[in-house]
Structure 1
Amino acid sequence: MKRPLIIGHRGASAYAPENTMASFKKALALGADGLEIDVQMSKDGHLVICHDERVDRTTDGTGAIQALTLKELQKLDAGSWFSKEFKGEKIPVLEDLLDCLRGRNILLNIELKNGIVLYEGLEEKILEALGIYRMEHCTVLSSFNHYSLLKIKGLNPRIKVGILYVAGMVRPWEYARSIGADGLHPIYYSVRPEIVAGAQTHQMPIYTYTVNEISDLEKIAGMEVAGIITDYPDRGRNAVDKI
């Protein structure tokens, strides 16, 4: 039985402020096989790593990312909300992480946060950055906006994309294949044995999110999914080590 990859959700976001370099480095230190991140675009067109469309929850600032320049965004403290230990942590740009991962055998899952704000040119900019750093081969792009995934495949058919979804889908591998997707990224409670079996039969890997409880991690780890996205890479590592 092939063991699933353990992918740090926004890094090791149970232990460090999400989507920061501190969180990414912590995930790697805890043995993560990959990282899942969220990318949006600043007012002046930079690729910034942040989950929310606004900075209010995860920084000491306020406002929409699309309304702030990179210089304004990087003045914000993105760590103190989590713990004083991380005071001064910054919102990173995608290139910061790509530079950190250069030469490592790490899977990078980039979620394009363009379901609410339709950032024009987001797909092109991400593909350009991956090309510069020569990381297309170890990256999967995902989104809840499946039109964006269609666009990506049109721009670069070789890049892997995965459909994010929450609701239970009937034969999701058929839908995914119909739009040229390479994988399924469902919420964990919609992952059933029959879904895993069907996906395997149709060579459609499953990367499921966000699995945090030990019992859930152990259950999912035994279902032969391709990857488990978790806030606790150490728990995930322990779960797969029991297989």
Structure 2
Amino acid sequence: MTTIFAHRGASGDYPENTMLAFTKAIEAGADGIELDVQMTKDGRIVVIHDETLDRTTSLKGFVKDTAYEKIRTADAAGKWKDSFKGVRIPLLSDVLRFAERADFLINIELKNSVFRYEGMEEEVIKKVRYYGLEQRVIFSSFNHESLALCHALAPEIERAVLTMDVLYRPERYLASIPASGYHPKLGTPAVSAEVIKHLAKHQAALRPFTVNRPEDMKQLIKAGADAFFTDYPKLALSIKEECCN
């Protein structure tokens, strides 16, 4: 059964990476949420996709150069500012506290490919363990060295390789980290029924991003994809129900 992850929450209809988007995704019945983390100037882990505040908030500048006390005042409605004015950038701990009271998966993307964010892995792992969510969290990153460090620090937490490229013998590459998830971009040759079956034989999961077209959702569900990430979890769940009946 294909698992539906809400990409940055229900971000097709609500401001991305906000508690509102995460809450709406879970209310819609999503199996899990995906979120992105960056580190502030004073070492706090905040949930935001870009390295800068410019696109999604009322502030400007790099997250890494801004203290949390300032970031917490930002309006994070982004393009939805006329409809959802006043939503805030959450801390990772805000989301984990919410998850502690419910039952869903959390894919935490470590956004440390542009800036290294020294100590990010340790801080994120500490918070996941504090809330006892080790078995419900997946760490993903385009920085595969970071994933290897996550394995060394917390082997009990699942890891997944994010990539825009096609990997040769992906199961071997995953084993070298090690990781058990392969998260390629939809539209690349890495996403096919053949790759899904091949990885399944090696106990690895293919979970492509970002899947927003109904025809792509149907194709992946019928091919037996372990999961996919979508901005429209409600739509994906209705298609999943249709495919399974």
TM-score normalised by L of structure 2? 0.96
Could you tell me how far 1:174 is from its partner in structure 2?
1.2
Q: Match of 1:221, as an amino acid? A: I
SS of residue paired to 1:84: coil
| Residue 15 in structure 1 maps to residue 13 in structure 2 | yes
1:45 pairs, out of 26, 43, 48, with 43
Following the alignment from structure 1 to structure 2, what is the Cα–Cα distance between the partners of residues 174 and 104? Answer: 35
Q: Match of 1:84, as an amino acid? A: D
Q: Match of 2:232, as an amino acid? A: Y
Structure 1: gaps of 5 or more residues: none
Could you tell me how far 1:81 is from its partner in structure 2?
3.0
1:203-241 per-position Cα deviation (integer Å, ceiling 9, x unaligned): 101111100011111111111111110000011101211
1:171-216 per-position Cα deviation (integer Å, ceiling 9, x unaligned): 2111101111121111122311211111011110111110001111
Following the alignment from structure 2 to structure 1, what is the Cα–Cα distance between the partners of residues 240 and 84? Answer: 30
In structure 2, the residue matched to 1:141 is 139
Q: Match of 1:48, as an amino acid? A: V
Give yes or no for contact 2:193–2:223 (8 Å, CA) kept in 1. Answer: yes
SS of residue paired to 1:86: coil
1:122-162 per-position Cα deviation (integer Å, ceiling 9, x unaligned): 00000000011000110000000000000010111111100
Could you tell me how far 1:85 is from its partner in structure 2?
2.5
Give yes or no for contact 1:79–1:86 (8 Å, CA) kept in 2. Answer: yes
The correspondence of residues 31-180 of structure 1 with structure 2, limited to 5 A, is 31-79=29-77, 81-180=79-178
Could you tell me how far 1:83 is from its partner in structure 2?
3.6
In structure 1, the residue matched to 2:233 is 233
SS of residue paired to 1:81: helix
SS of residue paired to 1:240: helix
SS of residue paired to 1:19: coil
In structure 2, do the counterparts of structure 1 residues 78 and 191 end up closer, same or farther at CA, with 3 Å as the change threshold?
same
1:81-131 per-position Cα deviation (integer Å, ceiling 9, x unaligned): 314221110000001011111132201000000000110000000000001
Q: Match of 2:71, as an amino acid? A: L
Give yes or no for contact 2:6–2:25 (8 Å, CA) kept in 1. Answer: yes
In structure 1, the residue matched to 2:210 is 210
Following the alignment from structure 1 to structure 2, what is the Cα–Cα distance between the partners of residues 146 and 27? Answer: 28
Following the alignment from structure 1 to structure 2, what is the Cα–Cα distance between the partners of residues 173 and 229? Answer: 21
Give yes or no for contact 1:171–1:195 (8 Å, CA) kept in 2. Answer: no
Following the alignment from structure 1 to structure 2, what is the Cα–Cα distance between the partners of residues 22 and 91? Answer: 10
In structure 2, the residue matched to 1:198 is 198
The correspondence of residues 214-225 of structure 1 with structure 2, limited to 5 A, is 214-225=214-225
Following the alignment from structure 1 to structure 2, what is the Cα–Cα distance between the partners of residues 61 and 160? Answer: 34
* Count of aligned positions: 241
TM-score normalised by L of structure 1? 0.97
Following the alignment from structure 1 to structure 2, what is the Cα–Cα distance between the partners of residues 141 and 93? Answer: 17
SS of residue paired to 2:223: coil
Query: Which stretches of structure 1, 4 residues or longer, exceed 2 Å deviation after superposition?
Result: none
Q: Match of 2:218, as an amino acid? A: E
Identity of aligned residues (%): 38
Q: What RMSD in Å do the two structures reach over aligned CA positions?
A: 1.0
Give yes or no for contact 2:184–2:191 (8 Å, CA) kept in 1. Answer: yes
Following the alignment from structure 1 to structure 2, what is the Cα–Cα distance between the partners of residues 103 and 91? Answer: 20
Give yes or no for contact 1:39–1:48 (8 Å, CA) kept in 2. Answer: yes
Could you tell me how far 1:80 is from its partner in structure 2?
5.3
Structure 2: gaps of 5 or more residues: none
Give yes or no for contact 2:55–2:78 (8 Å, CA) kept in 1. Answer: no
Of stretches 48-57 and 175-184 in structure 1, the one that deviates more from structure 2 is 175-184
